[in-house]
């Protein structure tokens, strides 16, 4: 099987400059490989460092040590030391990221927010629009909302717009931060189906799934992110274990 993301020796500490330079060790010496077609679930209590790890995989945070090798077309790129333009390219074509909350851009219509990742990489506008509409319909966003900016939408509606945007491009790697947290059962099921389809086409997925049913439906492995007993000390992340 092809390894699409390979993480080794990854450590991250936050330094709080506004609080006397206090250091918060979030994780230390993480190693993790994600293969094409598999979904790994980051698992652990709130504050354990799951979102920080996911953001590091998207190169939003710079780890203190270690590597994150991502397969980008024919190249292997280490995101820890990549140039900003390389990170932009990797995000355009290789890694999709569904954040926990939609970043609402005032006055931009829902349909355009969803379509944008596809048109940016040169997918023809009509094809992109057709796919965006299909995704919005699958995620039960009423048609009358498609031409409106999502600023006034409910939390669940905004999250579904965010998911539609994240699934517009068939990214080889997908990072999902609690995509079903504010959804009802029917919409959770739609998201489960989208994740299963992405796995079937060979996507490597790293996700945080609050909901046990969703976890059991999509996760191949759990990666435990454990909170250290000592604040300010480094936290331990234990090895991968199979889903029970
Ligand atoms: N930008 C940041 N600056 C400082 N500390 C942060 C930052 N982001 C997260 N943290 C801290 O890192 C720890 C892990 O947070 P997070 O990754 O959001 O946990 P989880 O997603 O597992 O709930 C928490 O103690 C949190 O307060
Ligand atoms: Mg989180």
Rounded distance, CA 37 to CA 170, Å?
12
Q: Is the distance from the beta carbon of residue 45 to the nearest atom of ligand 1 less than 6 Å?
A: no
Q: How many residues does the chain have?
A: 244
Q: Provide the CATH number for the domain around residue 195.
A: 3.40.50.300
Q: Is the pLDDT confidence value at 166 over 60?
A: yes
Look at residue 200 and tell me if it is in a domain.
yes
- Within a domain: 204: yes
CA 42 from centroid of its chain's CA atoms: 11
Q: Which residue has the higher pLDDT, 175 or 241?
A: 175
- For the chain, give the percent of residues with pLDDT over 70: 93
Distance 235 CA to ligand 2 centre (A): 16
At 103-125, the pLDDT tens digits run 878 899 999 999 999 999 999 99
pLDDT in tens, 36-78: 999 999 999 999 999 999 999 999 999 999 999 999 999 999 9
- DSSP characters over the chain: --EEEEEEEEEEEEEEGGGTTEEEEEEEEEEEEEETT-EEEEE--TTSSHHHHHHHHTTSS--SEEEEEEEETTEEEETTS--HHHHHHHHHHTEEEE-SS----TT--HHHHHHHHHHHTT--HHHHHHHHHHHHHHTT--GGGTTS-GGGS-HHHHHHHHHHHHTSS--SEEEEESTTTT--HHHHHHHHHHHHHHHHTT-EEEEE---HHHHHHH-SEEEEE---SSTTSPPPEEEEEE--
- State which residues form the domain around 184: 3-224
The number of the ligand nearest the C-alpha atom of 13 reads 1
48: Cβ below 6 Å to ligand 1? yes
* Number of domain units in the chain: 1
Question: For residue 55, is it within any domain?
Answer: yes
CA distance 70 to 57: 9
CA distance 98 to 171: 12
Closest C-alpha to ligand 1, atom 3: 14
Which residues are paired to 225 by β-bridges?
237
The pLDDT score that the predictor gives to residue 243 is 54
Question: Mean of the per-residue pLDDT values for the chain?
Answer: 92
Ligand in nearest proximity to the CA of 47: 1
Is there an atom of ligand 1 within 6 Å of 26 CB? Answer: yes
Average pLDDT over residues 6-10: 96
Residue 35 lies in a domain: yes
Retrieve residue 223's tokens: 């990666």
Q: What is the pLDDT of residue 157?
A: 96
Within a domain: 230: no
Q: Could you tell me which residues come within 8 angstroms of residue 47 by beta carbon, excluding any fewer than 6 positions away?
A: 227
217 close to 198: Cβ distance less than 8 angstroms: no
23-44 average pLDDT score:
95
pLDDT tens, residue by residue, 208-236: 998 999 999 999 999 998 754 334 444 44
Q: Is 56 in the pocket of ligand 1 (CB under 6 A)?
A: no
Q: Is residue 244 part of a domain?
A: no
pTM of the entire predicted model: 0.92
Ligand 1 nearest-atom number relative to CA 54: 17
Question: Does residue 44 lie within any of the structural domains?
Answer: yes
234 within domain boundaries: no
Instruction: Give every CB contact of residue 119 below 8 A, 6+ residues apart in sequence.
Output: 125, 128
Nearest 10 degrees: CA dihedral of 209, 214, 218, 224? 40
**Span 193-212, pLDDT tens digits:** 999 999 999 999 999 998 99
């Amino acid at each position: 099987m092809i390894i699409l993301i390979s993480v080794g020796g990854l450590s991250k500490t936050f330094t709080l400059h506004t609080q006397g330079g206090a250091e918060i060790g979030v994780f230390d010496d993480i190693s993790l490989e994600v293969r094409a077609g598999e979904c790994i679930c980051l698992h652990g209590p709130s504050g354990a460092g799951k979102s920080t790890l996911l953001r590091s995989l998207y190169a939003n945070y710079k780890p203190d040590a270690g590597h994150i090798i991502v397969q980008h077309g024919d190249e292997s790129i280490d995101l820890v030391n990549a140039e900003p333009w390389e990170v932009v390219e990797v995000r355009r074509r290789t890694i999709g990221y569904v954040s926990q909350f939609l970043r609402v851009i005032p006055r931009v219509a829902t349909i355009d927010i969803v379509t944008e990742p596809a048109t940016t990489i040169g997918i023809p506008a009509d094809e992109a629009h057709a796919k965006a509409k299909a995704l919005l319909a699958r995620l039960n966003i009423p048609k009358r909302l498609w031409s409106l900016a999502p600023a006034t939408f409910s939390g669940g509606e905004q999250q579904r717009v965010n998911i539609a945007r994240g699934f517009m491009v068939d990214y080889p790697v997908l990072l999902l931060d609690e995509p079903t947290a504010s959804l009802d059962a029917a919409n959770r099921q739609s998201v489960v189906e989208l994740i299963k389809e992405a796995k079937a086409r060979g996507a490597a997925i790293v996700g945080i799934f609050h909901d046990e049913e969703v976890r059991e439906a999509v996760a191949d492995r759990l990666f435990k992110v454990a909170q250290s007993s000592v604040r300010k000390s480094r936290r331990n992340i234990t090895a991968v274990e199979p889903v029970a």
